[in-house]
Structures are given as C-alpha cells and as structure tokens.
Amino acid sequence: MRTRDHLANVRTTLTWVRTGMILMGIGYAADKLATLDALHGVSNGVRTLGHPLGMTVVAGGVVIAGTALPRFLRARARIESDRFAPRVGTDLALVAALGVGALVLLVALAVVR
C-alpha cells in the first residue's frame, strides 16, 4: 500500500512539472510570435498582447512547476508518517489557478479580435 502511494505521489508531481513545462513552451511561442509580427510589421492583437501574455504564461508555468517539488516533499513526509491523511488543498489551488489563467487567456484573445 505504501509503495503505491509513493508511486502515485511521483506521478502527480511529474504531471504538474509537465504541465508547467507545457505552459512555459506556450508562453515562449506567444512571445516569439509577437516578436516576428513586430519584425515584419504585422499589426494585429498578437503583436500588442503577445509579449506580456507570453511572459505571464511562462511565469505561470514556472510557478506551477516550482510548486510541485514542495508539494511532493510534504506528501512524501505524510505518507511515511504514522498518520497519513491525504490533503488536496494544494492540488485544488493549482487547478483553480490553471482554470483562471486559461479563462484570462481566452478573454484576452477574444478582446484582441
């Protein structure tokens, strides 16, 4: 039972790191797309919002990936303790932050059109 809990903890941590890395890649791509549009003189919403939006998404990815390690260490300590009680507060907060970030991104893209 304990091994299964540790493996689940590792899988969850890797999933959060992967999500953060994907967000960093999307933010980087948005920033570079805005740079290309500015270089070629294209005037559109990507040019105006691309850099701040890209940097915000990259920062969000860094925060999510960085939050995974402390969460992993706390969960590992709880699994090893005599009284293991799973707490989902950090996971729910990260999911809520991702949801709010996605909503803000969609609104920003809708406003630019």
**Does the structure show a pLDDT above 60 at 16?**
yes
Contacts of 92 (CB under 8 A, 6+ apart): none
User: Which residue has 């706390």 as its token pair?
Assistant: 74
Whole-prediction pTM: 0.72
Read off the tokens for 52: 């701040």
Query: pLDDT tens digit string along 78-95?
Result: 888 877 777 788 778 878
- Please state, in angstroms and rounded to a whole number, the distance separating the CA atoms of residues 51 and 62: 16
Write the DSSP assignment of 55-85 as a string of letters: HHHHHHHHHHHHHHHHHHHHHHHHHHSSS--
Domain count, the chain: 1
N-terminal to C-terminal alpha carbon distance within the chain? 52
- The dihedral through the CA atoms of 94, 18, 71, 80 has a sign that is positive
Mean pLDDT of 2-21: 90
Residue of 12 and 1 predicted with greater confidence: 12
Which pLDDT belongs to residue 44? 62
| Among 53, 54, 52, 67, residue whose Cα is nearest residue 97 | 67
